[in-house]
Amino acid sequence: MNSGGKGIPPRIVTIVSFCIGFLLLFPSLSTANTRAERQRYQHSIVDYRSRLNPRFQKVKRQKTKYIIVHTTELGLRTSLRVVSKGKRLRNGRRTNGGHTHYVIARNGRTYRILDKKYVADHAGRSMWNAERNISNISIGIELVGYHYAPITPKQYRAVGILIDILQGVYGLNDRAVLTHSQVAYGLPNRWFRKNHRGRKRCAKNFIRANAGLGPTWHYDPDVRSGRLTADAQLSAVFYGRRQIYTPPDEANVISKRNTAWAIAGEDYNSVATVYKFPNGRLYTGDQIAEKVGWSRIPPKTVVLLGQENNVELLKVDSAVKIITGGITAWSHAGKAYNRKTTIYFLPSGRIMPGSKIRDWDDLPAKTRMIIGYKGPYGLSKDQTAFRIAGFRYKDPKTIYYLPSKKLVSGNQIKDFSRLPTGTFVFIPAKI
């Protein structure tokens, strides 16, 4: 529309048209986050580059076409160690680290592992739109957590700002943001006769809208072209008419529709993948074929990923579990990790139910926990062990927490009259 009978100068029209076209082409480059928010976030990033394995060889990336989002499938401390120092491979060899550019903890804290200009070995065997080795042309972001558990709001907030910043640096639109499970592919195996999607389940629980991302690919270009065979579960998640996210309560549990492959991808037969049977027996992925058979894994078997060197600790048949190394609260309790009936005993002496814990990343190593309990009930002259637990006061499942921070079961106590003041009793929630 003309104003005052004068037309808009052609140069202004050209500039405005260019800006509109640019924003349409790169919608994410609009100010989704304010400049101040981006600056605050950048200043808050923890510089972890000094921890990088000195054997890692830095190679500058020639171009950047994608941002790849991962879930670590490990707790924070183990995640930081693995991506910085390296991990053990199935043949016994170790990598030299440099497996991502950024790690975002569950409380939103972000760690810079490797300068963004270098190639990080984060995508492994990968392909997207006929291009292979996606690590060479992408930035890697690891979200601490598991693909079968929810990503936290603080992580979504942090990763949203980080993606916004990176998109501005490299001129990328929202279609350039993909998950590891979208780009990874596997070689033929017992489930697939041809090269296929599904090698990784990594970040299949990543809900783009929660990170402020807009529309993306509505199909897998490599499946459509016939280069790869589709994975039914991932296709439903990423390209179905309605995005489907498996409920966390059942996503790592074997069922008719949830196979070992659907849960663990290529790690289904790894020594670091643990199968916890309903009867309590444990098997590592490399033991299943010979000792059980893949078709004979019972329903309700829980699959635990990233449990390298932790099998013996998981086998401990005790009501009291210990968080240490790669064994997290989820490893022991599964979906019950944050319930009020899962009780945590911190090294400081503090007692907390799972429902009260907010910062799971900072839960200290050597924290002990009991699953499915009520309490604490304080002992006193009037409140005896028998009054609290009844005839189960001597039961091995009745737990006593002594002022010395020692946890003992009822069958280990010889003289209940000598229990010190300040002792707390915990009894099974279902008796």
Q: Which among 322, 330, 290 is positioned nearest to 306, based on CA atoms?
A: 330
pLDDT score at 245: 55
The total of structural domains in the chain comes to: 2
Whether 426 contacts 342, CB under 8 Å:
no
Q: Are residues 66 and 39 in the same domain?
A: yes
8-state DSSP, 145 = B
In a domain, 368, yes or no: no
Q: Are residues 269 and 170 in the same domain?
A: no
User: Can you state the percent helix, strand and coil of the chain, rounding each to 5?
Assistant: 30, 20, 50
Q: Are residues 37 and 178 in the same domain?
A: yes
Amino acid at 281: R
pLDDT score at 256: 82
Q: Are residues 232 and 298 in the same domain?
A: no
In a domain, 280, yes or no: yes
Enumerate the β-bridge partners of residue 387.
Answer: none
Q: Are residues 151 and 195 in the same domain?
A: yes
Q: What is the pTM of this model?
A: 0.79
Six token digits for residue 147: 């693909």
> What's the CA gap between 9 and 292, in Å, rounded?
78
SS (H, E, C) 303-361: EECCCCCCHHHHHCCCCCEEEECCECHHHHHHHHCCCCCEEEECCCCCEEEHHHCCCCC
Q: Are residues 129 and 258 in the same domain?
A: no
Q: Are residues 79 and 196 in the same domain?
A: yes
Q: Are residues 209 and 281 in the same domain?
A: no
In a domain, 26, yes or no: yes
Instruction: Walk along the chain (431 residues) in steps of 10 and give the mean pLDDT of each run.
Output: 44 45 41 85 97 96 98 90 86 86 96 98 97 98 90 96 97 98 93 92 94 94 96 89 57 84 88 88 92 92 79 76 80 85 95 90 86 94 92 95 95 92 93 55
The residue among 266, 293, 315 that closes a domain is 315
pLDDT score at 210: 95
pLDDT score at 248: 52
The residue among 289, 315, 341 that closes a domain is 315
The residue among 239, 273, 303 that closes a domain is 239
Whether 338 contacts 302, CB under 8 Å:
no
Q: Are residues 140 and 261 in the same domain?
A: no
> What's the CA gap between 122 and 126, in Å, rounded?
10
In a domain, 363, yes or no: no
Q: Are residues 154 and 48 in the same domain?
A: yes
Amino acid at 85: K
pLDDT score at 223: 97
In a domain, 390, yes or no: no
> What's the CA gap between 171 and 324, in Å, rounded?
42
In a domain, 40, yes or no: yes
In a domain, 388, yes or no: no
Q: Are residues 206 and 258 in the same domain?
A: no
Where are any strands of DSSP class E within 181-315? Answer: 185-186, 196-197, 274-276, 282-284, 302-304
Residue with tokens 């592919």: 185
What domain range is 292 assigned to? Answer: 252-315
In a domain, 233, yes or no: yes
